[in-house]
Amino acid sequence: MAMTILPAIDLKGGRCVRLRQGRADEETVYGDDPAAMARHWVGEGARWLHVVDLDGAFQGRPMHTEAIRRIVSAIDIPVEVGGGLRTLDDVKTLLELGVARAIIGTRAATDPDMLEAMVRTYADKIAVGIDARGGKVQVRGWVETTCLTAIDLAVAVEAAGVRTIIYTDTATDGMLSGVNAAAMASICDSVSCDVIASGGVAAPDDIRALRQLNRTNLVGAISGKALYDNKTTLAELTRAAQADVKRGTCVR
């Protein structure tokens, strides 16, 4: 089964940025117009877009609602959004803007009752972002590391009815160092719901490494810095995501 490649747009101070390992003080700015960036990725062939409100993640409440509205209005592909979503009202606001999927991070790890309420209300429009370093979940914009393991959280959120998990290996995010395939395999093996990989995608070979895991629930991968720094293209990643995998070998 082919994987979907989701270009990432990270919002901070109204601009499109990338952070190195999520550090707010290691920021690279790639554009001042998020809607224009969204149109760019659609023009490059994107079928989904992954948007993160970084200020929202750090502040604990949505900070880029207007920018997200402009992004959704500018394009005709589904958009998933995370960052600072803590309440049912936060999720309702995003979905009413036309966002296809709201990504819950910190709240999923710290308030399972709230997560269950969100899933009861919005069903598969709720995804959970599991951000982990060394297998331990990080929350509040990755500034706090918990004692909760990524696998335990994945099992718990699937039991709550979540059908999509976005798993980010924070040690590789923004580093262009390659994906943590072993961690991704472990997450996929722990649940039956869909999993989207994030962190470390630097080249088509990283997508091939994920495909070679042969996990049928690994349905997508997010790429950011590699695309913005022209280390690869969306077309190249998409071709790798659609290649046939047989006996552990990627056949082009």
Q: Does the pLDDT at position 250 exceed 90? A: no
Task: For residue 141, give the nearest of 63, 80, 72, 200 by alpha carbon.
Answer: 63
In 3D, which of 158, 161, 133 has the Cα closest to residue 147? Answer: 133
> 65-75: per-residue pLDDT in tens?
999 999 999 99
Question: What are the distances in angstroms from CA 148 to CA 75, 140, 182?
Answer: 37, 14, 19
* Token representation of residue 63: 């900070």
Tell me the range of 18-32, 106-120, 136-150, 234-248 where mean pLDDT is highest.
Answer: 106-120
Q: What is the set of active-site residues?
A: 10, 131
Domains in the chain (CATH in brackets) are 4-251 (3.20.20.70)
Distance between CA atoms of residues 208 and 249, nearest Å: 9
Question: At 249, is the pLDDT very low, low, confident or very high (cuts 50, 70, 90)?
Answer: very low
To the nearest 10°, the Cα dihedral for 112, 115, 120, 125? -150
Higher model confidence: residue 248 or residue 117?
117
Of 146, 194, 152, 246, the closest CA to residue 48 belongs to 194
The predicted pLDDT at position 164 comes to 98
pLDDT digits (tens, 9 = 90+) for 78-122: 999 999 999 999 999 999 999 999 999 999 999 999 999 999 999
Place of tokens 């803007």: 97
